[in-house]
Amino acid sequence: MMQRSRNDASESIRTADIPLQPEVIQCMDVQSLGRYTCCSATVRRDVREAKAWQLLSNVQRPAEDAFFAAARDATAARRSQALRRRLADQLDGWRAGGYMLLDKPTTTFADYTFFLRIDDDDGRIWEGDLVPTIQCDPQAMGVLGFDLSKIWSALKDSWDRMVAFLATGTGADDDVRDIYLHSLHLTLVAVREADQAMIALGQFSFNDALGITDEAIQEYDFRAKRQNDSNELKLFSTPQQDFRAFVRLVVTHDATGGGGGTLDSLDIGVDMTKYNAIRSEIIDADYLERDQVEYLFTYLAGVDHRAREGALATIKGWDD
């Protein structure tokens, strides 16, 4: 009788519902919780019901955040020291009668990385850094080009809507052929590598087709606009000038159905509109030359405060 009572009590203890306490989980590491989970099906159920992995993650995340924050602070401190030394070097040059910043363009397109994001109405398609690789035709309106062949090679098996667009015949009605482009958005940010200064060039939407209709190679014009607004966004303005960035998407259509259409290149340029003194009339409109765009980018990315007035005067003088 006594022996049976002891067995019953032991069985009662073994089957009792002893929940996994959060205090215990907080003292574990990943390995110990993993071993504990493997003990039995009952334990696995307790771990699942207690959301033990989430609790453990919540405990460890502050330490991880602190580590990454410290790493970011250290990187920022190193960059700050490098920038201070670069400015001190410039001051040495001025004292010795050397150059003044922006007497000529101090940065070229080779000094920038360009971050590109491609979206359409279905969501994100691709984003990443681009390095200028194409010397644009001197007669072209764009002054900076990027080869898109590698990006297209990576995307063509999954970007069905662009494949379908490139398969449209060059003789098709423009509105039918270009309908997909109206849902496409190209966002560009220029990053100066020396100091990570950034120029938000804009989010560009389809504006017009520029190529000859019956040719396979086509060029499409994209302009920076706000949503549901037909007015173009300005990259920079002076009292009598507006500067606007634009993008040209160059593609090759293949209407044979063989899937031979390609994204070829992306070209960037800036146009300038000049107004009269009260901005009531457009006096002139033209595209900036390559050295002018590089100069403008240098100014927008940031120059020494003593050089700003002279640099701005140079920019204003481009319409003379």
pLDDT digits (tens, 9 = 90+) for 221-277: 999 987 666 678 999 999 999 999 999 999 998 877 666 889 999 999 999 999 988
Residue 15 confidence class, pLDDT cut points 50, 70, 90: very low
Per the model's pLDDT, the better-predicted residue between 142 and 261 turns out to be 261
The number of beta carbons lying within 10 Å of the beta carbon of residue 320 is 5
Residue 66 confidence class, pLDDT cut points 50, 70, 90: low
| pLDDT at residue 94 is higher than 80 | no
**Torsion sign over Cα 126, 132, 133, 134:** positive
Residue 100 confidence class, pLDDT cut points 50, 70, 90: very low
Give the Cα separation of 221 and 223 in Å (integer).
Answer: 7
Joined tokens for residue 209: 């087709």
Residue 95 confidence class, pLDDT cut points 50, 70, 90: very low
How does DSSP classify residue 122?
T
Joined tokens for residue 128: 């990443």
Q: Write out pLDDT tens, residues 179-191.
A: 899 999 999 999 9
pLDDT at 240: 92
Contacts of 243 by beta carbon, 8 Å cutoff, 6+ apart? 234, 235, 236, 237, 270, 271, 272, 288, 296
pLDDT averaged over every residue in the chain: 78
Q: 59: helix, coil or strand?
A: helix
Give the Cα separation of 185 and 224 in Å (integer).
Answer: 9
Q: Where are the alpha helices (DSSP H) in 2-106?
A: 2-14, 22-26, 30-37, 41-49, 52-95
Q: Write out pLDDT tens, residues 150-179.
A: 999 999 889 999 998 998 765 555 666 788
Per the model's pLDDT, the better-predicted residue between 193 and 23 turns out to be 193
Contacts of 177 by beta carbon, 8 Å cutoff, 6+ apart? 165, 168, 169, 209
Joined tokens for residue 153: 């090679």
Q: 16: helix, coil or strand?
A: coil
| pLDDT at residue 215 is higher than 70 | yes
In angstroms and rounded to an integer, the radius of gyration of the C-alpha atoms of the chain is 30
In the predicted model, what is the mean pLDDT of residues 291-319? Answer: 88
Place of tokens 């293949």: 254
The number of beta carbons lying within 10 Å of the beta carbon of residue 301 is 20
Q: How far is CA 160 from CA 152, 165, 166, in A?
A: 12, 9, 10
pLDDT at 247: 95
* Number of H-type helices and E-type strands within the chain: 10, 10
Q: For a pLDDT cut of 90, what percent of the chain falls above it?
A: 33
Q: 133: helix, coil or strand?
A: coil
Residue 16 confidence class, pLDDT cut points 50, 70, 90: very low
